[in-house]
Every structure is written in C-alpha cells, then in structure tokens.
Amino acid sequence: MELGLISIVVTVTVTVVIFFLQRRAAPKREPVWAYKTEQIIGLETNTPPELKLYFGDSLVNEVYRTKFILFNRGRETINQDDVTDNLNLQFIGGKILGNPTIERYSKATIRFHADKSTKEGSDTVRIAFLYLGKDDGAIVDVLHTKVDCIKFSGNIKGVEMVSVGKFEQYRKQFRHSGLMPVFWMGIAILTVIIVDYFVSMPPTEKLVSQLRDSMATRAAFGSFIGVYFVLLGFEIKHFLKYRHFPKWSLITLS
C-alpha cells in the first residue's frame, strides 16, 4: 500500500511540473483567430418569384451570419503599434449587410472595434484595438450574403497569426459534470490496487489467486474499464473542442 501511495504522489508531481513547464514555454505573443458561418435566412429554389426578401434596401436571397474571434493567447501584450499592416476580414464574392457589431469582448479598456471597409474590391471588416493582453480579444458579428470564401489578413510585428479552425462558442452545461476529477480518482485507486497486488503479494499466493479468478469476474472488471475509458474519451473530446478559446467568449447552454 505504501508503494502505491508513493506512485500516486510521484504521478501527481510529474503532472503538475509538466503543466507549469508547458505554460512557461507558451509563446510570448500569439494572436489567435477563428470564425464560424451559418445561414440564418434563405429562399428555396421553388419560391414564387413574387416573394422578395429585403435586408434594408437590399434585395437578397440568402443571409448568413459569421462570428469571428480574435484574441491574444500569449503571455505578453500586443499593442496597437505592433500592427504593421491593417487587420482585414474579407468577404470575397459576397456583400456585407449593415455594419459589423462587437458581440463580446474581454474588457472595455482594449477598445476593440470593427468597421466596414473595402479591400481589393471585396467587402471587408477592418479590425483594430488599443492593446491585447493575455486572453484579451473580442467576437465580431457580421451579416452578409453568400460568399466564395472568407479571408483574414494583416501583420503583427514579430509574430504569426494562428488559425484554430471553426469557432465553437456554445457548450452544454452537463459537460462540466466533474468527470475529469472522477477519472483521476479512479487512476489513483487503480494504481494502489495494482501496485499492492503485484508487489505486496508473495509469488505463490499471487499465482493461486489468479487461478481462482473466475471468467465472470474478469469480464465484469473488463466491462468496467471499458465504460470508464469511454467516459474519459467523451471528456477529452470536449476539452479539445473548447480549449482554444478564452472563457469570456464561450456561452454555456442550460
């Protein structure tokens, strides 16, 4: 039992050390961006020609919403003067409807703003800010028609802007049910059992005990382990899905 407890302490210590080393090795400044586009209004192909859809004074067939997030994942602040080429979100082949809005932001003091503009003949959202500290940023909400592609460009001195794919903003509340603490508790218990069994037990008794184990017992234990790691897989999948984005940007559904 004592060796089991020692192994648990060693495992936890190594995990904590690795965690802090990874944090220290994080980039000093790391601008991260992502977006998600979805259709919110549309006319079917068999819609009567008399039926028209207007957005303000503009005649449209489809309306899309793009939510774009930009934030600093690094440890050091990105200042306005570090932006050497304007940050532009281009909607190539489409038209922006109305003005972009700031849906959420980390704090008001960063003075994050987004303005409608034009670049290379395409409707564009120009993004600017006063500064971005660690995890500072904002979400820009843009309504537009169907586009060929969306392109984010610009330059921040000394760093590369990182895309993390689709912006996953909504998460379900039940996913934070504490499965990870249960997992680590289970690992600790299994470690104690295994170490105590294979170290403390004399070789002869160990062999006799293994021969006495029934197939049903082993099957039950295997089923438990299988279910246990399935639950762990769901939790890891959830963690990887949302780990890219700061807490202020996420919405928890009830």
Q: In this predicted model, what pLDDT tens digit does every residue of 13-22 receive, in sequence order?
A: 655 655 555 5
pTM of the model: 0.65
- 153: pLDDT confidence band, cut at 50, 70 and 90? very high
**Which pLDDT does position 1 carry in this prediction?**
44
Q: How far lies 168's CA from each of 5, 101, 106, in Å?
A: 40, 19, 17
Q: Do residues 114 and 127 lie in contact, with contact meaning Cβ atoms separated by under 8 Å?
A: yes
Q: Do residues 7 and 191 lie in contact, with contact meaning Cβ atoms separated by under 8 Å?
A: yes
| DSSP H or E segment with residue 212 | helix 203-212
Token pair belonging to 138: 């904002």
φ/ψ (deg, to 5) at 37? -115, 135
How many residues are given for the chain?
A: 254
Locus of tokens 């980039």: 27
Mean pLDDT score, 211-240? 56
φ/ψ (deg, to 5) at 27? -55, 150
Q: How far lies 176's CA from each of 173, 184, 207, 244, in Å?
A: 6, 15, 43, 17
User: pLDDT tens-digit profile of 37-93?
Assistant: 999 987 666 667 767 777 777 788 889 999 999 999 988 999 999 999 999 999 999
